[in-house]
Structure 1
Amino acid sequence: MKKIIIILLCIFLITPVVIFGADGNIDTGGGDMGGVVKGYKWTPGEEGVRVTVIKDETKQPVTTPIDFTNVKNPNVKYHFGKVSKISYKNGAKLTRYSTATKGYVSKRPSSGNIPIIIKSNNRKPDMKKIKAYFCDKVFIQTLSKLTGMNYEELVCGEYKLLIEPIGYCTIKGERYALTAHEAALYDEQLKGTLRSKMPSFSHKNLPLSLFLENADLGFPAWKGTTNNKQLNSTIKEKLGLGIIYFGNESEEEKPPEIDIKPDPPNPNPPKPDEGGDEGKDVKEYEYRTDTDVISSVLISGRNRTPDHPVNVSFKIKDKTYTMKNIYLPKKGGSQYAWVKWHTPKTPEKIIITVSSNATSETSKIIANVSDLEEKTPPDPKAKDKAEPKYTDNNGKFKIPNLPDDKGKTTSTYGEWDCYWIPHWVYYSDGEGGGEWVDEGWWEWKWIPYTVNLSATMNIKADSKTLTAKSNGKEIKSGYGIELKVDANVSYNAPEGSVTGAQNIVTYYPEFYYKEYNRVLQTIKKGYNSSFELKNNKYCPFNDKVHFTTLWFTDGKYVPYGNVMDVWTPEGMLSLNVNDFINIKGNLYQDYHFGPIKSVS
C-alpha cells in the first residue's frame, strides 16, 4: 500500500504543467531598499504569493484569493483587499484598506516554506523549485481545504491556478502588502512616487519575478528584457503572474491519434525540412533611417518540438540575432521568424543573411534604408495665386477630394506552441515488481497575434491668431494652423515583434495633397505616440505652424497625414488621418489701411 501511494504522488507531480517564465527572475540590482530613500524600503525575504482558482472556460475567479507567506508576522498596516490580477483586468478598482478597519490575513503553508520568488542581491530564485512547490500534492490539498473546493474537482482539468507575487514593503514609512499589479495601480494614484522612490522593487524585482512563457487566460507571454524597470501599463498587462493547469488523462487511457490542423491555415503548404536555398526569392524591404523595424522570413517544416526546435539567425552588418525555440506541428506547418532591429542614421543598402535549420522562404533580405525627406512648402506671399491647373474656368480654386487610401491598419500572425501530454503506463516484471513509463506525446497549439493601428489628427488655429472663432476651428485664410497627431498601436503579441508608429508625413489641400509635404516631429515615443509640426522657418516667431494660403477658397481646409512605420512580421501598418478647420474670409479683413490722424 505504501508503494502505491508513492507512485500516485509522482504521477501528480508530473501531470500539472506550469506556465512560468523560464528566465522569470531578474538579475541583481534590486535588493534591500533601505538607505536609498527614507521611508521607502523592501527587505529581501519579505514576500509571499496570492493564489486564485480560475475557471478555465469562463476565465473568471471561482474562489476568493488566498495569500501565502513564510513571514511569521507581516505586520501590515495597509493593503488592497484580496483581489486577483484577472479581476483588476475585468474592471475591479484599487481600494486601500487600513488593517484597523479591515484586517489583513495571510497563511503560512503547511507544505513547507515557499521557495524564493523575488530576486535580490543575495537571494536567487530557482524556477524548478518554484514549479515543483506549487505542483506538489500537499500544497494543492491545502488549497483545496482553504477554498472549500473538492480536491478531485480542483485537479480535474477545468480549473487553473493564478499565482501572483506579493511584496511586504514600507511606503511613506507605513507597512504595505501588495501584488505587482497593485503596485502599478497604486503608483498611478501616487503619480509615479513608487517608480521614483523604490523602482528596483516596485517596477523591476516584484513584477519580473513571475511572468508567462505562453499566452493564457487573456494575458500575453512576456518576451522582453528582465534587466530593466518596467512601465505601469506593461506590468498591468503582462507581468507579475504565473499559471498552473492540470492534465486530466487517466492511467488507462491510450494516446489518441494526433491530427494536428493548423489554425489559422498555413501561409504556405507545409514541406519537410530540407537544406539549401537555391532558387529562393530574395525578400526586399524599404525602411526609413533611424527607425525600429521588423524583418521576417516564413519558416516551414514538421514535427519540431522542444527536443528538436527550429532556430533562425539574421546577420545584419556585424551583428547576429537569433530567434530560438520555434516549433512546427507533426504534420507540417509554417510561421514567421523575425528580428527587431534599428536602422542606421544615414541611407544605406544592407544585405541581411538568414540561416536556419529548417526550410525558410529566403536566405537573403535586402533592406533599402533611405531618408524620409520633407519637401517644405514655399514661403507664402501676399501676391501668390492658385496655380491655373487647380482652378475652375473663373479662376477660382477648386478644393480637392481627400485621397481614399486607408492604408493597412491590422496585422495577424502567430506562433506554434508545443507542450507535452504525459501518459503513464505500468510495466510489470512478473515478479511483483515493475516500473512506470511515461509514453506521452507532444501536442501543438496555434497562438494567434493581432496588431491594430489607430490614430487621430487635431487641427486648430495658431495660438497667435487672435481673430479665430469656434474654439479655434474657424480662421481667415493666410493665418497659421497648429497640427498634432496621436497614434496608438494595440497588440497581444510579443513586444519584440511589433513597433509603435514612428513617422508621419502631412499633405495639404492647396497643393492638391502632392508636390509639398511636412514631416512631423515626434514628441512622444512608444506604442502610444504623439507628433506635431516642426518649427516653421518662415514664421517670424519660429512657431510650430503651417500657414494657409491667402487665396484659399472659403470652406473646409482639410490636411491629412500618413501615419507609418508600424512594423510587424507581416509587414508595415499605415493609416491616413485628417481633420479640418473652416476658412471664412482672409486676413486682410482684420486690418484697416488709412491716414494717421495727427495729434496736436
Structure 2
Amino acid sequence: MTAFADGNGNVDGGGGNLNQGTEAYNWPGSSYQGVRVTVVDATSGAIICNPVDFTNKNIASIAGRIIHFGKVSKIQYRNGASLTPQSSGYVYYAPTNAMPPVVSSNSNPASIAAIKRYFCSEGAASMVANRTGINVTSLTDGTYKLVIEPVIYLIYNHLYYAMTTTEAGLYNRMLGGDLGAHFPTVVMKNLALALFLENADLGFQAWTGSKTTARTTDEMINILGIGIISYQGAPVTDVVYDAEYRIDTDVITAVTLSTTNEINSDSTATVSFSINGRTYHMTGIVIPANRSQLVWVKWHTPSSPGEVNISISTNKGTLSNTSIHANVVDMNGNPPPDPTADDRNDSFRTPSIPNRQNVTSLSWGVWSCRWHANWVWVPDWDWESGSHSASCPANCSSSHGHWVDNGEYEDQGWYDYTWHSYSASLSTSMDISADAKNPTASGNVMKSGYGINMTASTRLNSGAPSSHITGAQTCVAYFPEFQYDYYWRLLERTSGGYSADFQFQQNEYSTYNRRVHFTPVWYPNGNYTVYGIIMDAWTPGGMLQAGRTDSMAIRDNLFSDWHVRPVN
C-alpha cells in the first residue's frame, strides 16, 4: 500500500511458537487466515452493514465445505447473538493488495506495525468501501469506524472451520474446552492474541495482560480478537520524531548556534538543554560574527521507552532548533520465538542483505578566541597658557601659552578566532561461529537446527575530549529466516568504553543457557548470513554506526545426526 492512512489504528497483537497438528486436528499453514471487517457508526457503535471476510488464501476448493458461523461480528456476539454453525455458503473476498499476516506462525510472524500500515491506509478503506457499497469519502469522513477481527481456517475433527477469535472462544465453550485442548497454541495463544485494543473503545476493554502466553476462553470472548480503525476525515500519518535513541544509553544531542554579531570572551554564550526535568548548560561559547558552530549536551536516556521532549535556549545568537521531539525505544523486546523441530517454511526464499547506511567517521569543531593587542597612541592636546614677561608691551594681549599632548596609548586590538577541529572514527568486526554444543560442525560448515554464536568488537578512535564522544553501546543482530525483520537479538555488551565487545545474550530456550541463536531446522542448504548493526557511538556531529555480516554454510540438518532403530 502506497498511501498512508486516513485512519488511526487502535490495535496491538502478540502470539508465540506453534504446536504441531495432526491429520484430524491441524492448521494447514500460516496462509490459512484472514480478517473480518465490520463498518460501524463511530459514535454509537451500531453496525452499518454486514461484516465482510477477506483472505489472501485461495480457498475456493474448500469454501463449499467449510463449517462457519455466518458473518457475525464481535459486537453482535456481545449484544447477545448466538453461535450458529453452518455447513455451506461461506463467502470471502481476496484483497487487491495482499494483507500482512495477522495470526503469527514461526515461519511467518505478524508485525503489528505492518498491520497498522495496511488497515489504516487509503487502499484498505477503498477495499472495504467496494465490498460494502459505502462511498469511500463517506467511509473516511469520521462518521464510521472499522472493526477488524482475525479469522483462521483450521481442521478440527477432520473438518475445515472458519472462525474469529470470539467464535473460537464461544465454540470452545460449547465443546467443553476440546477445541483449546487440541489447539493450545494456535487457537488459545496465536489466534487469541492476534489483535487486541491498545485503548478502550466501543465498549471493549484494552488488553494489558501477557502477549505471549495462552489466554482463557472468557478473555477471547470478551476482550481479545479485535482492532478498531478510526477515521478523522483527514490523513493521519505516523508520529515523526526528530531523534531516536535507545534506552539506558549515553547520547549526544546537538543543534547549531549561529550569530551575526561577534560572541567573544567578554560576554560568552550559554546554551541550555532542558530534558526530563533537568537542565544542562554548555557555557563559554564564542563565535566570530556571521559564523556558527555545533552546541550539544551529553546525557543518559531513561531506562524505559517513551517520548522525550527537549527544550533548548540561548542567551546569545540563534539556534537551529529550540525543541527536539525524541523517541526512546527498547531494542530488547522482540527476540525470536522458540524454534521447534517440526517447523516448516517451504516457501522460503533467501532475502537480500539490508542496505543501511554506514557512518564510520564524523567531524565537528568549536571556536576559541584570544585577544590580539594593538597599542595605539591616542593624542589629547591641551593648551597651556604662559605668563606675561617684562618685555611684554603695555596692554599685551598674547597668551604666551603652548600646546601639550596629554594623550596615552590605548589598546585598540581585536579578538582572533581559532577553529578547533575534531573527528572520530569507528572500526568494527563481527564473527559468527558454530556453538560448542554443535557436535558435527566443521569450521564454517554446520547443519541446520543447531545454534550459532556471535561476537562483535568495536574501537572508537578520536582525540576529542570525553565530553564530545561515547563508545559504541548497542549491537543488534538480524536473521534471514525472519527476512532481516520481524525479530532480532539485542547483544549484550561485555566490555565498554571506546573499545567495546558484544555477544549474544543467554538464550532462554537453550538447555545449557548458552549464548546462542538457533538456526531453523528447515533452513535450506547454502549460506546462512547474519546481519549485525553496531551503533550508539555518539559525537556532536551525529551517531557512528556500521553494518556487518558474517556467514555459516548450511549442509544438511540435525536429523541426519540421529539414528533410529527398533528396540531389540
TM-score normalized with structure 1 length:
0.48
Deviation digits for residues 545-600 of structure 1 (CA, Å, limit 9, x no counterpart): 01111122222211011112222223323221111122222222223222466xxx
User: Corresponding residue for 1:530?
Assistant: 501
Q: Which of 525, 549, 556 pairs up with 2:520?
A: 549
Deviation digits for residues 59-100 of structure 1 (CA, Å, limit 9, x no counterpart): xxxxxxxxxxxxxxxxxxxxxxxxxxxxxxxxxxxxxxxxxx
- Residues 241, 327 of structure 2: 8 Å contact kept: no
Instruction: Please give the secondary structure, in 2, of the residue aligned with 1:589.
Output: helix
User: Corresponding residue for 2:476?
Assistant: 505
**Gap change, CA 1:312 and 1:596, over 3 Å in 2:** same
Matching residue's letter, 1:411: L
Q: Does 1:295 align with 2:253?
A: yes
Q: Does 1:410 align with 2:383?
A: no
User: Corresponding residue for 2:487?
Assistant: 516
- Residues 455, 487 of structure 1: 8 Å contact kept: yes
- Residues 376, 517 of structure 1: 8 Å contact kept: yes
Give distance in 2, aligned partners of 1:364 and 1:509: 39
**Gap change, CA 1:368 and 1:450, over 3 Å in 2:** same
Deviation digits for residues 23-68 of structure 1 (CA, Å, limit 9, x no counterpart): xxxxxxxxxxxxxxxxxxxxxxxxxxxxxxxxxxxxxxxxxxxxxx
User: Corresponding residue for 2:85?
Assistant: none
User: Corresponding residue for 1:360?
Assistant: 319
Instruction: Please give the secondary structure, in 1, of the residue aligned with 2:284.
Output: strand
- Residues 399, 553 of structure 1: 8 Å contact kept: no
Cα displacement (A) at 1:375 = 2.0
Q: Does 1:323 align with 2:282?
A: yes
Cα displacement (A) at 1:363 = 2.3
**Gap change, CA 1:289 and 1:387, over 3 Å in 2:** farther
Q: Which of 339, 349, 358 pairs up with 2:307?
A: 349
Q: Does 1:338 align with 2:296?
A: yes
- Residues 455, 503 of structure 2: 8 Å contact kept: yes
Runs of 4+ in 1 over 6 A off after TM superposition: 427-434
- Residues 456, 578 of structure 1: 8 Å contact kept: no
Give distance in 2, aligned partners of 1:406 and 1:296: 20
User: Corresponding residue for 2:267?
Assistant: 308
5+ residue gaps, structure 2: 1-239, 381-402
Larger radius of gyration between Structure 1 and Structure 2: 2
Give distance in 1, aligned partners of 2:503 and 2:326: 28
Q: How does 1:403-442 map to 2 (within 5 A)?
A: 403-425=354-376, 436-442=409-415
Matching residue's letter, 2:447: K
Matching residue's letter, 1:364: S
TM-score normalized with structure 2 length:
0.50
5+ residue gaps, structure 1: 1-281, 391-397
Q: How does 1:486-501 map to 2 (within 5 A)?
A: 486-501=457-472
How many pairs align?
A: 305
Cα displacement (A) at 1:425 = 4.2
User: Corresponding residue for 2:234?
Assistant: none
Give distance in 1, aligned partners of 2:344 and 2:241: 47
Q: How does 1:56-135 map to 2 (within 5 A)?
A: none
Give distance in 2, aligned partners of 1:376 and 1:361: 38
Q: Which of 523, 529, 542 pairs up with 1:571?
A: 542
Give distance in 2, aligned partners of 1:337 and 1:439: 31
- Output the aligned Cα RMSD: 2.5
**Gap change, CA 1:306 and 1:283, over 3 Å in 2:** farther
**Gap change, CA 1:386 and 1:568, over 3 Å in 2:** same
Percent identity among equivalent residues?
A: 40
Q: Does 1:372 align with 2:343?
A: no
**Gap change, CA 1:490 and 1:558, over 3 Å in 2:** same
Give distance in 1, aligned partners of 2:281 and 2:258: 17
Cα displacement (A) at 1:313 = 1.0
- Residues 245, 251 of structure 2: 8 Å contact kept: yes
Deviation digits for residues 90-149 of structure 1 (CA, Å, limit 9, x no counterpart): xxxxxxxxxxxxxxxxxxxxxxxxxxxxxxxxxxxxxxxxxxxxxxxxxxxxxxxxxxxx
Give distance in 1, aligned partners of 2:511 and 2:454: 18
Matching residue's letter, 1:475: M
- Residues 283, 362 of structure 1: 8 Å contact kept: no
Give distance in 1, aligned partners of 2:544 and 2:522: 36
Give distance in 2, aligned partners of 1:283 and 1:328: 30
